[in-house]
Amino acid sequence: MLKIINLSKKFNINTDNEINIFQNFNLEIEENKCTAIIGSNGCGKSTLLNIIGGSILADKGQIVLNGHNIENLREEQRANHIGRVYQNPSMGVSPSLTILENMSLANKKGEKFTLRKLIRKNNIDRYIELLKDLDLGLENKLNTKVKFLSGGQRQSLSLVMAAMKHPDLLLLDEHTAALDPKTSNVIMQRTRELIKKYSMTTIMISHNMKDAIEYSDRIVMLDKGEILLDKPSINVTEKELIDIYREKLHNFA
C-alpha cells in the first residue's frame, strides 16, 4: 500500500552540525492497518511523517502510495490522498472560522472553489451526522468559531475533517500529546472508531507506549533512522518496549 524505498535524508549538509537521519531506509505499510511508529526524540519519527506528507523532501529514495510514486508531488498535491492530524489541536483546523466553515473546507480539499460557494446546504446534514458520532455536542455548534472550542473538541474535529474524504493514508503525528490523560483517552477511542469505520491505512506516532500497543496493529521502533523493532502489536508488551529504551539509554551513557 505504502512503500518507502532506499530513503535518505540529511540536515545541515556540509556543516559541523550535519545530521544523517535516514540512509537507504526501507519500510512497507500494510493496507487497512494501523502502524505505530515509536522511538526516542531524534530517532526520525516526525521526519519520516513529514517526508511522507511532503512538508520535507527526501534527498533520495522513493515513496510509493497505491502503486504511484509521490516523492515529487507537492505537499498540497499529496494532501488529496493523505489526511493528517497534528500534535497541536489548532494546526488541523482554522480557529477563526466556524465548525461549519471548517468542515466545508475539508470537504472541498482537492477541488477548486470560491469562499462564496464554500458552504452548500445539501452537505450540512452529512456534517451533522459525522459530528454526532463524536458524541461531543458539536453538531449543535455549527456556527461556533473553532477558537472557542476546547483542545479535545478541536482535535476531535480535526480527526473528522482528516477522515471525511476517506484518504488513502492517515497520518497521526502525536495527536494526543497536547491533551490531558482523560481527553487523550477519548480521542484515542474516537480515532479507533474512525479508522475502523473507513478502513483507513494509518501511521501513528506516539510517545505513549501503552496507547501504541492498544490502538495499533503493528509496532515499529526507530533508533537513529533505523528499525530497531518491528512486530505485531499483539506480540509486544509495554515492559519489552521499556526494557529496550532502558538498554539504549544505558549504552548511550
Superfamily of the domain at 2-252? P-loop containing nucleotide triphosphate hydrolases (3.40.50.300)
pLDDT of residue 16: 87
Q: Are strands 169-173 and 201-205 parallel, antiparallel or unpaired?
A: parallel
Domain locations in the chain?
2-252
Say which residues have a Cβ less than 8 Å from residue 187's Cβ, sequence separation at least 6: 152, 155, 156, 159, 175, 176, 179
DSSP string, 148-207: GS-HHHHHHHHHHHHHTT--SEEEEESTTTTS-HHHHHHHHHHHHHHHHHHT-EEEEE-S
Encode the chain (253 residues) as per-residue pLDDT tens digits: 999 999 999 999 888 888 999 999 999 999 999 999 999 888 899 999 999 999 999 999 999 999 999 999 999 899 999 999 999 888 989 999 999 999 998 988 766 655 556 778 889 999 999 999 888 899 999 999 999 999 999 999 999 999 998 999 999 999 998 888 888 888 899 999 999 988 999 999 998 999 999 999 999 999 989 999 999 999 999 999 989 888 875 554 4
pLDDT of residue 253: 41
C-alpha cell read off for 177: 500529546
Distance CA 83, CA 171 (A): 6
pLDDT of residue 252: 47
Distance CA 40, CA 148 (A): 34
